[in-house]
Structure formats: structure tokens, C-alpha cells
Structure 1
Amino acid sequence: MKKKIGFIDLFIDEWHANNYPKWVAESSLGGEYEVAYAWEEAAKADRRDLQEWCRQMQITPAASLEEIVQKSDCLCVLAPSNPEVHERLSKLALTSGKPVYVDKPFAPDFATASRIVEWAAKHQTPLMSSSALRFSVELDAVAKLPGPVEFFATTGGGGNFPEYAIHQIEMIVTAMGTGIEAVTVQGKPERLAATLHYSDGRLATLAYSPFLSFTFHAQAKEQTVMNQACSKYFENMIEAMLKFFATRQTPVPLTQTVEIASVLDALVQGMTQPGKRIAVQK
């Protein structure tokens, strides 16, 4: 019998909830896992409500958070556009001891991210969160560079910077690790550039405009990786999530997840303070 995944969402009719079930079914572990249950806090006025969404998706609606946590073997807390609700929506699931995946962006700031991680640890609940861009095929080449990455430059787009910058930060931290102490931002909300300052003197940059593709360049001491596209990141992310459900071991260090949330918060602050060095909360 397949393991049952439960979706917890602010409103269920959104892009991730609409696409993840298909990708789960198509993954290498699709014979072992299925999205079986869904729950939303409240329907959005211009979208399908839970009952209609579940009818069309052939997924069983849950009447309450308690029901979905009790019936599911593993849980996804979605709401990918609203990190400010992740702590509230994940709180009960994180007491269950069942593996919980929290969608990106994980949390709006360092304090919230730390509380979520501490709550999961208190209840011995496996926890994972990531941007899908961490799992792009092309990023694997960076891990093969001789020595540490000394400089990393990314570009990326999306509907708005506060929601989509997570993808570039995730790639930077995947390649360079933690240790970002401050950020500086230049430009306007619709077109901006930022520098991430590591405590050891290394630098990373990101450039954002809504229609830019996700790309990266990585430089180690003696070799450079130049990449003009990122591919298969959603498929690979779903694979990683299902393996996490199976093993109860996250492939993403939670120390990185917390720092990424803190860096994103600093960048958002920097949008209204161009050129000012904004400390990353630790």
C-alpha cells in the first residue's frame, strides 16, 4: 500500500499544489507514495475551493488539521507565496513525529525560522525545506570544483523579489555554504542587484528582474563553472522530498535553511535602504 502524503495549505488552488501530485506520481518513488489528502485554511475567492479542487484532483479533502495530520504518513506544508503563515500551519504537523516538508520560502525571518526548527526538534519530527533550484542538474558541477567556491553570481526572475529571491539565495548557499554576515542592495524593486558578504571575505552577487532566467557562474581558485540555464529542478526536488519521507533524513542542512531565511529578510530590508550594509541576523 502506498504511503499517504497530506497537503496543508493556506488556499489549495495554487501552482505548487496543482502540480506536485503529478510529479509525485511520475517520480521513481511514485509507486510508493501518493498525495492522498488535502486541507486548506480558507478558499481564495477567485479560485476552486477545497471540495472542488479535491474532486478534480481525485484527492480526499480533510475536514481539519487534526484529521489530515492523523491520517497522513507524511506532510507537505505549502503556501509557497506566504511564508508568514508557515509557522502557524506547520505547528500541529511538527508535533506528529511524521516527516514534514515546508515549502519555500521557509520563514519570513531568522526568529521565526529558528522557532520552527526548534519546535520540530522538540517533538523529534523530521523537517525539510528548500527552493527547488538547489536541485538543478547544473548545480551538481559546482560540488566538483577543486577547493571552495570563492565567488558566485546568479540571475533570476519571478513575479516579485521578496517571493522569488529565495531561489538565488538557495543556489548561493548550496554552493558556498553558510557564513553570510551582511547584504547590500542597489536598484528598484523591479530591477535590482545585491551583494552577499561572507564573514571570510568571499562574495556572492544576485541580479533580479521579473523576466530574467535562473543562471549562475561559480569561481573556485583554479576553475570556473559558467551556466546559462537551470533544469529538472522541480523533478529532482520531488525526488529529494520523497527520499526524505522514506529515510527521515533531510538532504538540506537546517542551519542553511535558517540562514537562507535570515538572508532573505535582510535583502527585503535592503530594498528600501539602497547601498546600506544590512546585517544578517544570527
Structure 2
Amino acid sequence: MKKIGFIDYYLDEWHANQYPGWIKEEAARSGRDYTVAYAWAEKDLETGLDTESWCHKHQVERSASIEELVDKSDCIIVLSPDHPEHHERLSRIALESGKPVYIDKTFSPDLQSGIRMFHLAEEHHTPLFSSSALRFSEELTPYSGGRMERSLEYLAVTGPGHYENYAVHQFEMIVSLMGIGANKIKSLSTNNGRLMVVDYADGRRASMHQLQDAPFQASMQWANGDGIFISPCTNFFPGFIHALLEFFETGIPPVPKEETLEIMSMIEAGHRAMANDDIWIAISRK
């Protein structure tokens, strides 16, 4: 049996609570022998389960240290999905291990820390990937991965939440469908509603509209005049968990690092754009 280790800032959070069951279901469905076996957290959530109680609830062995967890695990998931500022620190030992590592969304709080994490992984020959689950939506998968990006003239995506921890979902949708090469971004936003326009060097454009209760949707317009509207995007977590176990099995990341870093660049430039309304902001890759 292949054993997965969880590293988290605190464990009683939505992703850590759902992933063990989903991984068990997908492993059984696909005939893969994987289980979440170990967990370590830096702190306890003051209003939730402490680490010991979480481990007991999920039948997972509590590790005394990150070093112990990485040593015992065959593959590692670094969580902390709503606190990416901790990812670089929490993932360091795992990224030096040579074992497959998945780092949860949002991969990094800024582009430079994302670049450093990929560099560390490459230095130690550690397979690494990160992604929003929205990339694996049942409806988007037939169009993603470079299948139609050059003929896709305009893409509009919508979704809910706050920019800090949910913008990654919509930018992931954009990059998975339109590829890399965005050169600037503009914000036309209010305090509680965000509209961002992304411009590509070849004239293509995409927009993301973020409102608190908006569903994840996508409208695609091709250069030949055809279009399609998808509402809502569904079954993205089953698709993601399938891709995750495939990655652990093969060591081949399903998402190129260039796309992940492009998304981090967009998020970072988007922050600057919201501080400079209706002004184009360059998307930097350095």
C-alpha cells in the first residue's frame, strides 16, 4: 500500500476533511492502493478539532515532525489552502525528498516564492504540481491542455468567493483553456465585485467576474464565430483526485509548471490592477 502524508498549517479545514474519503473512493474505483496514513500540523484551529482529535477521527497516524512524515510517506500533500503564505516553509523538506509532492491551491502568495519552490523541487528531482480543482471540471476537460487555445478568441469565466483565496479557480480555468502568454490585466471592480480583463499578446482576451454567490461558469468564443456556454462547471473534485493519484503513481505532473507560474503572475498582477482601476498592468514572469 502506498502511504500519503498530509502537511498542514492546521488540519481541521475543508480540504483536509474531504480528501481522505475522496482518495479512498478513487483508489477503490481505479484499483490503486493508496491511503492517507500520516498527518502533521503546525498548530490547532482554535475553534475546531486539534491535531490529535483530527487524526483519530480520520484514522491517520499523527507524525511527530515533518521530517518523520516525509520519511514514512510515499507521497506528500501540503495543504494550508487558505494560507499559501506558509507553503514555502511547510513544503521545504518534502521538496527535498525526491518523492511526489502536491501543494494545494493557491500554490504561492506571490510569483517569486512559487519560482523558488519549483527550483528547489527540480534541484532535488522531486515531482511537483499544484492546481485548482476547477481545471478538472467535467465540462472543461475536453477543451483544456492546449487542445483549442489558439482558436479560442475570447473566454469569460465567473465564480464566487474572495480574491485572496478564490481568484485562483478562475485564473486556473483561463490558463487551462487559453494557455500561457498573457501580457497585461485590467481591473474594473468595486469593493465587493471584481471584473478583471486579461489581454494576450496575440489579441485574444479573457475576463473573470467574481461575485460572492456566482456559480463557476465559462463562455467560450472561437474565432470562427462558434461559441459555447457552460453552466455550471461540475465534477471537478473527482477529476482532480483522479489526476492526483495518477501523478503519485507516475511522477508526471498533469499541469506544467509554466502554467502554474502564469496563474501566480496573473493573481499578483491582479492585486496591483485592483489598486489602479481601469489601468493596464503588466503581467510579469520574473
Where on the TM-score scale, by shorter chain, does this alignment land: which range? Answer: over 0.9
Secondary structure, counterpart of 1:187 in structure 2? coil
Shift of 1:31: 4.3
Match of 1:220 in 2: 222
Match of 1:202 in 2: 204
Match of 2:188 in 1: 186
Say if 2:28 is the partner of 1:25.
no
What's the CA shift string for 1:211-245, capped at 9, x where partnerless?
00000011222221211111110111011000000
Shift of 1:272: 2.0
Q: 1:264 and 1:30, CA in 2 relative to 1: closer, same or farther beyond 3 A? A: farther
| 2:168 partner letter | I
Over aligned residue pairs, what C-alpha RMSD do you find? Answer: 1.3
Distance across 1 between alignment mates of 2:106 and 2:262: 12
What's the CA shift string for 1:117-147, capped at 9, x where partnerless?
1110000000010000000010024246595
Q: Is the 8 A contact 2:101 2:129 kept in 1?
A: yes
Alignment of 1:1-282 (within 5 A): 2-27=1-26, 28-29=29-30, 31-143=32-144, 145=148, 148-158=151-161, 160-222=162-224, 223-282=226-285
What's the CA shift string for 1:65-85, capped at 9, x where partnerless?
001000000000000001111
Shift of 1:252: 0.3
Out of 196-205 and 138-147, give the one that drifted further: 138-147
Out of 138-147 and 175-184, give the one that drifted further: 138-147
| 2:236 partner letter | Y
Out of 140-149 and 130-139, give the one that drifted further: 140-149
Q: Is the 8 A contact 1:77 1:90 kept in 2?
A: yes
**Ranges in structure 1 where 5+ consecutive residues have no aligned partner:** none
Q: Is the 8 A contact 1:38 1:62 kept in 2?
A: yes
Secondary structure, counterpart of 1:67 in structure 2? helix
Shift of 1:91: 0.7
Secondary structure, counterpart of 1:251 in structure 2? coil
What's the CA shift string for 1:90-111, capped at 9, x where partnerless?
1110000000000011111111
Distance across 2 between alignment mates of 1:121 and 1:77: 17
Q: 1:31 and 1:247, CA in 2 relative to 1: closer, same or farther beyond 3 A? A: closer
The alignment covers a number of residue pairs equal to 280
Shift of 1:29: 3.9
Q: Is the 8 A contact 2:148 2:177 kept in 1?
A: no
Out of 218-227 and 109-118, give the one that drifted further: 218-227
Distance across 2 between alignment mates of 1:216 and 1:194: 14
Out of 222-231 and 65-74, give the one that drifted further: 222-231
Distance across 1 between alignment mates of 2:74 and 2:246: 13
Out of 144-153 and 38-47, give the one that drifted further: 144-153
What's the CA shift string for 1:18-57, capped at 9, x where partnerless?
0000100111346410000100011121111110100111
- Percent identity for Structure 1 against Structure 2: 43
Length-normalised TM-score, structure 1: 0.96
Distance across 2 between alignment mates of 1:247 and 1:272: 42
